Amino acid sequence: MVNPVLLIVVPLGLSFAIPLFSLISKRIEKYIPVAALVFNLVVSLLLIPKVLKQPINVFIGGYLPPFCINLVAGPVGILFSALIALIGLLVSIYALDYIREGAKQLYHILYLLLLTGATGVVLTGDIFNLFVFFEILCISSYALVAYFGDRAGIESAVKYLIQGAVGSSLMLIGIGLLYGLFGTLNMADIARNIDSVSSISVFVPLVLLITGLGVEAAIFPLNAWLPDAHSSAPSSISAILSGIAIKVGIYALARVIFTIFGASSLLQFMVFLGLLTLLVGEVSAFSQNNIKRLLAYSSIGQIGLIVFALGIGITYGVVGGLFQLISHALSKALLFLAVGYMIYRSGSMDISALEGMGKRMPLTSLAFTIGAFSLVGFPPFIGFPSKFLIIRAALSKEEVLFTVLIAFVLLGTVIEGAYFFRVIQVLYFRGGQTDIKREEAPVPALIPIFILMILIVVIGIYPKPVTNLLNSASSELLNRIEYIRGVLG
């Protein structure tokens, strides 16, 4: 049997082995992340059938929980680790050609560390361990945002660092309070005892944890860092930050609210927060002239939609939320990767500079169009089933409130469609020059773009295998008794 620990250990070890490998040859250092993530993807996919039968618990150090640090490879954990490995692998192939200047070796080390941190967060069953992995993720992403070292990059990295550090400090205070209350750091053990103390003393750590994780998950009003950081980072890092980093924040938030605290009374609040985030993100995206800032604000909107769906709190809602999470990760990664080379070729991030790209880079423009259509929710693409499930979940609550709220969500989608069509119109129908030379992106960049396009279409047409995994993932999130029993026996 494959041990889920390998999902964390192998990338961690390989990331620090990169300087050693580069002693042998300078050229192989950029292939190490690819190798590590291929391994992670294969292991995650191998574990899926086993995990669907029964979650795998790993006790580190040979002690039994709650005394040891444990890993819980349930359907949720493996779903996320497979997604992280998939997106990470595709982006690392893209980076083979895209990262040409700067401290390349450090880029690859930090990139693998970022993904190690993300994988650790989704697999761990210990709340302090979750904090540590989160810090690994955050510190490497602060450094990667500043990778180019230009004015905008440094400024956004400083902002991101200050806000992120305050957020994780608040989270640590929350963890300290929980330890003071329960004398344990094991998430299942805390969840088992959470009802034994008065709800007011649990409320403070809950608020601190939600605020701390909300910074990382970019929930309104804690998202001021996101548009700067995502637009100033290298495009490959923007794809990872939008596709993976904020999703991991959402995961941790869901784990805290659903599993540890079982705070069903809070879900209504999360629904409103999600809707507010959605509308703020989409409206801000509408008024942007910088293409990467537009995509960053659109990420905020999509995060809002995911939080909204998870907050509905019924099976369909959680399945829809997780599906939307996957669909956004694939589509937004595709959009950032496509835009990366368009900016590289045109030399500007202004939307107006993309005129004529439909002829100059037809394949990349096609990829952008597919990603945009998928985010808006057009039928043959993956965005359609996910949005459909969310709307169905909201309507199946059969409450007037949710019917009104879903109308606002659809309004957000309309705004989203409007600004994406504006960009697509610029790509194909602006600029009268006829004698444009074809300058397609290089092959290492086209491979991940093609794979993402194929995945978006195939899962959009045939979502059944994914929804099977999502169903058991949502039952893991909603059924906390089962989770506690699985860990503590």
Partner 1 sequence: MSFLNNYIYYIGALGLILIGLYIILVKRNLIKVIIGLSILDTGINLFLISIGYMSEGTAPIFEKGEAKLARMVDPVPQALVLTAIVIGVAVLALALSLAIRLYHHYGTLNLRKIREQRW
Residue 456, amino acid: I
The C-alpha atoms of residue 263 and residue 265 are separated, in whole angstroms, by: 5
Mask of contacts with partner 1, 274-293, x by CB under 8 A? Answer: ----------x---------
CB of 477 to partner 1, least distance (A): 27
The DSSP annotation for 420-445 comes to HHHHHHHHHHS-----PPP-PPPHHH
97 versus 350: smaller Cβ distance to partner 1: 350
Question: Could you tell me the CA-to-CA distances from 234 to 107, 144, 337 in Å, in that order?
Answer: 11, 8, 10
Please report whether residue 169 would count as binding partner 1 according to CB under 8 A.
yes
Asked if 122 interacts with partner 1 (CB under 8 A), we say no
Region near partner 1 per CB under 8 A, out of 228-236, 251-259, 360-368, 369-377: 228-236
Which listed range, 3-11, 174-182, 211-219, 300-308, lies at the site for partner 1 (CB under 8 A)? 174-182
Helix, strand or coil for residue 73? strand
> Which residues are paired to 290 by β-bridges?
350
**Interface with partner 1, residue 235, by CB under 8 A:** no
Cβ 73 to partner 1 shortest distance, Å: 23
Question: CA-CA distance, 30 to 103, in Å (whole number)?
Answer: 12
The contact pattern for partner 1, residues 128-167, with x = CB under 8 A and - = no contact, is x---x--x---x--xx--x--xxxx-xxxxxx-xx--xx-
Task: List the one residue from 227, 234, 301, 385 that touches partner 1 (CB under 8 A).
Answer: 227
For residues 421 and 367, give the distance between their C-alpha atoms in angstroms, rounded to a whole number: 14
Q: Which stretch binds partner 1 (CB under 8 A): 100-108, 168-176, 244-252, 458-466?
A: 168-176
Residue from 180, 278, 169 nearest 213 by CA: 169
Give the shortest CB-221-to-partner 1 separation in angstroms.
12
Options 176, 221, 379, 442; binder of partner 1; rule CB under 8 A:
176
CB 271 within 8 A of CB 321: no
- Which residue, chain included where needed, has tokens 């910074």? 215
Q: Vertex 377, ends 374 and 382: CA angle to 5°?
A: 50
Report the residue number, 150 or 482, with the smaller CB distance to partner 1.
150
Q: Which residue, chain included where needed, has tokens 């580069």? A: 22
**Which alpha helices (DSSP H) does 183-290 contain, by range?**
187-193, 199-217, 226-232, 235-240, 246-254, 267-286
> Closest approach of Cβ 129 to partner 1, in Å?
10
Structure tokens given for 221: 């009003």
C-beta of 59 vs 128, nearer to partner 1:
128
Least Å distance between CB 134 and partner 1? Answer: 10
Name which position in 29, 126, 189, 228 contacts partner 1 (CB under 8 A): 228
SS3 content of the chain, % helix, strand, coil (to 5): 80, 5, 15
Of 119 and 231, nearer to partner 1 (C-beta) is: 231
**What mask, x for binding partner 1 by CB under 8 A, covers residues 178 to 197?**
-xx----x------------
Residue span binding partner 1 (CB under 8 A) among the ranges 176-184, 322-330, 398-406, 446-454: 176-184
Provide the β-strand partners of residue 186.
126
Taking CB under 8 A as the criterion, which residues in 312-341 touch partner 1?
A: none
φ, ψ of residue 56 in degrees (nearest 5): -95, 130
Cβ distance to partner 1 smaller for residue 170 or 406? 170
d(CA 50, CA 468): 14
Question: What is the Cα–Cα distance from 444 to 342, expressed in whole angstroms?
Answer: 15
Using CB under 8 A, list all residues that contact partner 1.
128, 132, 135, 139, 142-143, 146, 149-152, 154-159, 161-162, 165-166, 169, 172-173, 175-176, 179-180, 185, 227-228, 231-232, 284
